[in-house]
Amino acid sequence: MSAHPQQERRKCPRYNLQIPIQLSLSHSSFPDTLDATTLNLCLNGLYCTVTRYIPPFHKLLITMIAPKHEEAPPRVISQVEGVVVRVEPEQEKVGCHEYQVALYFQELSDEQEDALQALLAAHAAHVGGHECVYA
């Protein structure tokens, strides 16, 4: 029996891209916003590290900030509604101050999708190709 590599199920690649984001949380046990940095990003969502536990299926507003370039200051490129689809560790732990969170974008407008595609294309051009991961 020959081993077949597992087929990738993602429709779009994730890019190793660290951009600052702010998460606006509506649950009363969280502050109004939580700063984070993406670990990777695609047209469907992002993966980031945060300093507190956010439960799965929690809805939030993601504000993405384009990084500073030589002549351009940082700027907000989009505010997208998202939902937490995975958290690691899976349960809140006393003393834990780092959680990896996967967020799925809900209903991107055409303008938001265009802005995100432009950001990903600029990143791919900057690194001389795309650094994509399927994690």
| Average pLDDT score, the chain | 78
What's this model's pTM, rounded to 2 decimal places?
Answer: 0.76
> Does the pLDDT value for residue 129 go beyond 80?
no
Give per-residue pLDDT as tens, 54-78: 999 999 999 887 666 666 566 666 7
- CA dist 109 and 124 (Å) reads 22
Element (H, E) at 111: helix 110-126
Name every residue whose Cβ is closer than 8 Å to that of residue 8 and which is 6 or more positions away in sequence.
134
- CA dist 55 and 69 (Å) reads 34
14-133 fold: Thrombin, subunit H (2.40.10)
Highest-pLDDT range among 2-6, 9-13, 68-72, 121-125: 121-125
